[in-house]
Amino acid sequence: DAGVTQSPTHLIKTRGQHVTLRCSPISGHKSVSWYQQVLGQGPQFIFQYYEKEERGRGNFPDRFSARQFPNYSSELNVNALLLGDSALYLCASRSPGTGGIDEQFFGPGTRLTVL
Amino acid sequence: TQLLEQSPQFLSIQEGENLTVYCNSSSVFSSLQWYRQEPGEGPVLLVTVVTGGEVKKLKRLTFQFGDARKDSSLHITAAQPGDTGLYLCAATGFQKLVFGTGTRLLVSP
């Protein structure tokens, strides 16, 4: 079975441009989360979607938006790119674990470089 | 906002040595997870600890959750080059994970 897939793997943009990142969750997983990982730091939560609805949002500006499609895949959109948006963007799909503890499975990420 | 601090930030050791990585916070957690992330990949879940004082073993890795559920540690016995990577602790919160600052481990042959 395929794991979480993300595209593209790498992307180079310039300041002010817009970017769309894509994620396909593990088959059967209905929840997708997005995280931003700046070099040398741990991932930071951006969004969580479940059944096409936003269920959680991190402390990110409105330039960041996302959506989930009927097939549970998801897109993360970032407008008016800044140099500080350069990071690895991770997508995770969620499976309810034993004892009610959710387990998240991460994709390989999209490395975004803003010049 | 929960803040998870990991120490050390970076660790470079020789194959065969033992090491311990710490994850500390002033907050109490319902559960805590440990991940390992290798370059070019996303984090991979190693373990989830739930009960205060809980100890879990995964081959040469031993994970412990503090009695007060505010801290955790990861101990690696006889480290191998394949253990090289970024080790992240993460608190499981409502709808999201809150990650620690990370410990980058380099094990040289």
pLDDT of residue A83: 97
Q: Is the model's pLDDT at A97 over the cut of 70? A: no
B3 lies within 8 A of chain A by CB: no
Across chain A, mean pLDDT equals 92
Residues A94 and A103: beta-carbon distance below 8 Å: yes
- B42 closest CB neighbour out of A48, A58, A108: A108
Report the chain A residue with the minimal C-alpha distance to residue B102. A42
Q: Could you read off the pLDDT of A11-59 as tens digits, one per residue? A: 999 999 999 999 999 998 999 999 999 988 899 999 999 988 999 999 9
More confident residue, B2 or A3: A3
- B95 closest CB neighbour out of A55, A97, A107: A55
Q: Could you read off the pLDDT of B10-57 as tens digits, one per residue? A: 999 999 999 999 999 988 888 899 999 998 899 999 999 989 999 999
Q: Which of residues 10 through 39 in chain A touch B, CB cutoff 8 A?
A: 33, 35
A 10 A CB-CB count for A3 gives 15
Name A61's Cβ contacts closer than 8 Å, sequence gap at least 6: none
Query: Which residues from chain B sit within 8 angstroms of residue A44, using beta carbons?
Result: 99
Averaged pLDDT, A94-115: 82
Token readout for A41 is: 């730091």
Across chain B, mean pLDDT equals 92
pLDDT of residue B36: 96
Q: Which of residues 74 through 93 in chain B touch A, CB cutoff 8 A?
A: 88, 90, 92
Q: What share of chain A is helix, strand, coil (3-state, %, to 5)?
A: 5, 55, 40
- A101 closest CB neighbour out of B4, B31, B42: B31
Q: Is the dihedral of CA B23, B38, B98, A11 positive or negative?
A: positive
Closest CA to A111 of A79, A90, A88: A88
Q: How far apart are CA B31 and CA B36, in angstroms?
A: 17
